[in-house]
Amino acid sequence: MKLKYAALIASLAFGVAGAANAADFVIKFSHVVAQDTPKGKAAEYFKKLAEERTKGRVQVQVFPNSQLYKDKEELEALQLGAVQMLAPSLAKFGPLGAKEFEVFDLPYIFDNYDELHKVTQGPIGMQLLSKLESKGIKGLAYWDNGFKIFSANKPLKSPADFKGLKMRIQSSKVLEEEMRSLGALPQVMAFSETYQALQTGVVDGTENPPSNMLTQKMHEVQKYATVTNHGYLGYAVIVNKKFWDGLPADVRTILDGAMKDATNYANKIAKQENDDDLAKIKASGKTQIYIPTAAERDAFKKALVPVHTKMDDRIGEGLVQLIYKQTGFTPN
């Protein structure tokens, strides 16, 4: 009797799950940041557009905050087909063998979003995405987050202040070199582990766009932050190529349109979101926000721009020079 009851409950549960998955196609979209961030909001917006426009034929399940997978695992999961869509930071493609993407990590290579968009929304950006195809991945779009600020439990006004500090970074060799150039000790660590590492002192500091710092509550465990805006952090939205190519053409066309609109949305809100989140960090009173003087900014640039030349060979294909040409960057 008991067993029968259990079987009934199980079959009901199955029925409910079956109803919830009545869609012809399910896209699991995994990411590592909070929902209340530029990426989190854009993922939700894509879900809304995709489901509405396909009239429910496609269901998008968004899993934020490393709920399903951490940084490294999510890339493996995508290649295995356990999830269909991700938007990893451009700093995380090196371990996949696509180290060209680390060009976006070069300190001070972009002064603002306009310069960046010349690359991400132009031929160089498209060319880079096409390199992922040999890895079973299709790149659909670039979504912005923002420019990074350094944080620690001591004031960071000059490169000398970084000496000996353990700094958490994403898995990018360019970021490793960046921290070394400041005399710091880079520690690669999953995003989901960073708050705790800062809280317990496993690392001393890190770098983030304000939206990530605030939504992971890192500002509660970092007393000082300097608005250096020394580097960019943004995303490539990627899908499992086999899954994407296997979709009926009409469905794919609708999803491409939804992605285009979600991309415009993401790139429209990113700057404001980060400005607002920086203001919230400041208002919390937990982190002292420091704006460097022109001379201090020059000192950071002097220490960090040589990273371009050091990493030129790793990035390869004259990509650094191509970007200089596109944005008008001059190294001095």
CB 72, CB 171: distance < 8 Å: yes
Residue of 59, 66, 120, 145 that binds ligand LMR (CB under 6 A) = 145
Site size toward ligand LMR, by CB under 6 A: 8
Query: Helix 319-327 vs helix 123-130: angle between axes, to the nearest 10 degrees?
Result: 150
Per CB under 6 A, does 151 bind ligand LMR?
no
Instruction: Give the separation between CA 38 and CA 30, rounded to whole angstroms.
Output: 15
Smallest gap from Cβ 213 to ligand LMR, in A, equals: 9
Is residue 191 at the binding interface for ligand LMR, with CB under 6 A as the rule?
A: yes
Minimal distance, residue 220 CB to ligand LMR, in Å:
17
User: Closest separation between CB of residue 9 and ligand LMR, Å?
Assistant: 39
Query: What's phi and psi for 285, nearest 5 deg?
Result: 75, 5
Is residue 65 within 8 A of residue 32, CB to CB? The reply is: yes
**Taking the mean position of all CA atoms in its chain, how far away is CA 242?**
23
CB of 145 to ligand LMR, least distance (A): 6
Q: Which residues of 167-183 are buried (b: 16+ CB within 10 A; e: fewer)?
A: bbbbbbbbbbbbbebbe
Q: Taking the complex as a whole, how short is the minimal distance between the CB of residue 325 and ligand LMR, in angstroms?
A: 27
Does residue 274 belong to the site contacting ligand LMR (CB under 6 A)?
no
Give yes or no for residue 212 binding ligand LMR (CB under 6 A).
yes
Q: Is 104 in the site for ligand LMR (CB under 6 A)?
A: no
- Name which of residues 161 to 180 contact ligand LMR (CB under 6 A): 170
CA–CA distance, 241 with 139 (Å, rounded to integer)? 9
**237 makes contact with ligand LMR (CB under 6 A):** no
Q: Report the candidate in 162, 145, 144 with the shortest Cα–Cα distance to residue 153.
A: 162
Whether residue 209 contacts residue 149, with contact meaning beta carbons closer than 8 Å, is answered with yes
Crossing angle (nearest 10°) for helices 319-327 and 306-315: 130
Q: List binders of ligand LMR among 33-72 (CB under 6 A).
A: 33
Nearest of 230, 281, 210 to residue 112 by alpha carbon: 230
The 1-40 contact track toward ligand LMR, x by CB under 6 A, reads -------------------------------xx-------
| Binding of residue 195 to ligand LMR (CB under 6 A) | no
- Binding to ligand LMR, residues 277-296 (CB under 6 A): none
Please answer whether residues 106 and 172 qualify as being in contact, where contact means their C-beta atoms are separated by less than 8 angstroms: no
In angstroms, what is the minimal distance from the CB of 212 to ligand LMR? 5
Q: Is 89 in the site for ligand LMR (CB under 6 A)?
A: yes
Report if residue 266 touches ligand LMR, rule: CB under 6 A. Answer: no
By beta-carbon proximity to ligand LMR, the closer residue of 169 and 311 is 169
Which residue lies nearer to ligand LMR by CB, 84 or 89? Answer: 89
Closer residue to ligand LMR, CB minimum distance, 259 or 270: 270
Q: Does 216 bind ligand LMR (CB under 6 A)?
A: no
What separation in angstroms does the CA of 323 have from each of 89, 117, 142, 296? 19, 11, 16, 25
Q: State in angstroms the smallest separation of the CB of 170 from ligand LMR.
A: 4
Strands of 185-188's sheet in order across: 185-188, 166-169, 205-208, 149-152, 224-226, 288-290
From first CA to last CA, the distance across the chain in angstroms is 80
Nearest-approach distance from CB 206 to ligand LMR, in angstroms: 8
State the minimum distance, in angstroms, from the CB of residue 69 to ligand LMR. Answer: 12
Q: Which is nearer to ligand LMR, 32 or 132 (CB)?
A: 32
Give the interface with ligand LMR as residue ranges (CB under 6 A).
32-33, 89, 145, 170, 191, 212, 233
